[in-house]
Amino acid sequence: MADHVIALDQGTTSTRAIVFDAEGRIVASAAREHAQIFPRAGWVEHDADEIWQNAAGVLEAALAEAGLVAADIAALGITNQRETAVVWDRRTGRPVHNAIVWQDTRTQVLLDRLGGEGGDRDRFADETGLPLATYFSASKVTWILDHVEGARDAAEAGDLLFGTIDSWLVWKLTGGARHITDVTNASRTLLMDLASLAWSERMTETFRIPAAMLPEIVSSSAVLGEITEVDALRGVAIAGILGDQQAATFGQAAFDAGESKNTYGTGNFLLVGTGERIVRSQHGLLTTVAYRIGDEPAHYAVEGSIAVTGSLVQWLRDNLGLISEASEVQTLAETVPDNGGAYFVPAFSGLFAPYWRPDARGALVGLTRYVTRAHIARAALEATAFQTLDVITAVEADTGKPLEELRVDGGMTRNGLLMQFQADVLQIPVVRPEIVETTALGAAYAAGLATGVWTSFEELRGHWREGERWEPQMDAEERDRRVRMWQKAVRRSFDWVDTDARILMGTAD
Ligand code: ADP
């Protein structure tokens, strides 16, 4: 009987498939990492074909591990790294360039130009909910059209398609039958009008992106297509799509206005629902679509996006060789009682929320001969907690309401030292649910709601169970002192990228 749902979670570092049963429990899963391609300082790419191969592979592997067949699966839900842009040829199905990843900063100069004389990065925020930043998809597409030979002509002729990763995967899964993207992903492109939920002509003209390339914008939860290209799942409906952070919010059953979650992955993303209202932040948060069920009105959220949190741990592992796997960062940090005076501001892609400073770059400050690798490991973990504090301060300033506790999920929440420090700097409890795979669960929920596996939000809320809780313990004065040191460190990271730095990085034009 078709009472299971399979979720495909295409993240920045890996692609996972998870089979859930009707109670929302994990039955089986499979995962594969893909290559991170760094052609130059500030550039980050993925091979979209590799991502598709991994996706097909993990779907088959998870289904096999569950001992199930296509007839047992009611639907597939997709969730994905957002903003990352793929442009491919509709005739050959081949990408014309590597996918340009959300962290990539190569298009800063173009965005500076679009900001006009006054450098107004909020010029289009009224319509899109977003500042002009390299983070979002639009400028990445413009870059591909401007730099790949023949791409612009082919796009004008209707031969090239653009999509975020959800769009690319659906197109591949359906053998090119469906070129769609859900409203949550579309709300991250800088091309969608938040109120009408349609592509904005003003924005596509601003970025010189031919309308013929754009996918159709669809609901997050609806029957959207049928899998034809993965044999083991042939005929299964694709019935849910949510960007990864919206999916995590959905998976935490935070459906209503005022409900929130914070995900600790490659970066950190805090979302607070605002119901059917579009709320404009005065404090550096984005406005985004949270979900749309069938033909119902869309629900919105404000979001605090932090570019670098877990990826700083990867950087300690891959670039410094300080640790050999991510979990060792905790063991190393635990060998010292504090950060020894070191503060690490990981502004590798500039600083996102709440600062939006593209001119910032990473800074490790407060160094003395006393500081060891263990202090640096600790400072790296603390950076995640401090950046989260900055975002929550912005949320509280916007909403006028203090947060009572923080619901968390994501890979970094396995780190107990970090979670305790987070509770300490926020001075509120931090709570993790039993199922930490909330991103995949959210995509499964969207697909299961559209196909009758689940029938109401109430039913899904009933699945949520508390797994672990951290209570604040740090002395208030000590906490305040450390926060002041962090704020000083943040200021040290500003104003780094100027013409000299751009020339050194090879991104002067
Ligand atoms: P994503 O979905 O963005 O790919 P995940 O939720 O899988 O990310 O989280 C992976 C991130 O968490 C990686 O950046 C990794 O460095 C970090 N991470 C994993 N385990 C730990 C740990 N024990 N302590 C700190 N960071 C960790």
Report pLDDT digits (tens) over 185-239: 999 999 999 999 999 999 999 999 999 999 999 999 999 999 999 999 999 999 9
Decide whether any atom of ligand 1 lies within 6 Å of the 36 Cβ: no
pLDDT average, residue stretch 472-487: 97
Which residue has 């999916």 as its token pair? 247
Give 116-149 pLDDT, tens digit per residue.
Answer: 777 788 999 999 999 999 999 999 999 999 999 9
Cis peptide before 433 (omega within 30 of 0): no
Residue whose CB lies within 8 A of the most ligand 1 atoms, among 10, 13, 323, for a mutation test: 13
State the Cα–Cα distance between residues 307 and 103, nearest whole angstrom: 7
Sign of CA dihedral 376, 377, 378, 379: positive
Longest dimension (CA), the chain: 65
CA of 13 to the centre of ligand 1 (A): 9
Q: What is the pLDDT of residues 366-384, one digit of tens each?
A: 999 999 999 999 999 999 9
Ligand 1 in reach of 309 Cβ (< 6 A): no
CB 365 less than 6 A from any atom of ligand 1: no
Alpha carbon distance 421, 337 (integer Å): 12
Looking at ligand 1, which atom is closest to the CA of residue 12?
A: 4
How confident is residue 184, by pLDDT bands cut at 50, 70 and 90?
very high
What lies within 8 Å, CB to CB, of 42 at 6+ separation is 104, 105, 106, 349, 505, 507
State how far the Cα of 10 lies from the Cα of 14, in Å rounded to an integer.
Answer: 6
Q: Is 438 in the pocket of ligand 1 (CB under 6 A)?
A: no
In the reported structure, the alpha carbon of residue 231 is separated from the centroid of ligand 1 by a whole-number distance in angstroms of 31
Summarised one tens digit per residue, pLDDT across range 277-307 is 999 988 999 999 999 999 999 999 999 999 9
Percentage of residues in the chain having pLDDT higher than 90: 88
Tokens 């209570």, located at residue: 471
508: pLDDT strictly greater than 70: no
For the Cβ of 243 lying below 6 angstroms from any atom of ligand 1, the answer is no
Protein residue with least CA distance to atom 14, ligand 1: 310
- Render the burial of 210-243: b for 16+ CB within 10 Å, e for the rest: beebbbebbbbbbebbbbeebebbeebbbbbbbb
Going through 384-426 in order, the beta strands assigned E by DSSP cover 406-409
Q: Report how far residue 386's alpha carbon sits from residue 506's, in angstroms, rounded to the nearest whole number.
A: 31
Q: Which two tokens stand for residue 290?
A: 């949270």
| Cβ atoms within 10 Å of 365's Cβ, excluding its own | 17
pLDDT tens digit string along 404-451?
899 999 999 999 999 999 999 999 999 999 988 899 999 999 999 999
The residue contributing the CA closest to ligand 1 atom 27 is 412
Distance 160 CA to ligand 1 centre (A): 34
Q: Are 493 and 345 in contact (CB under 8 A)?
A: yes
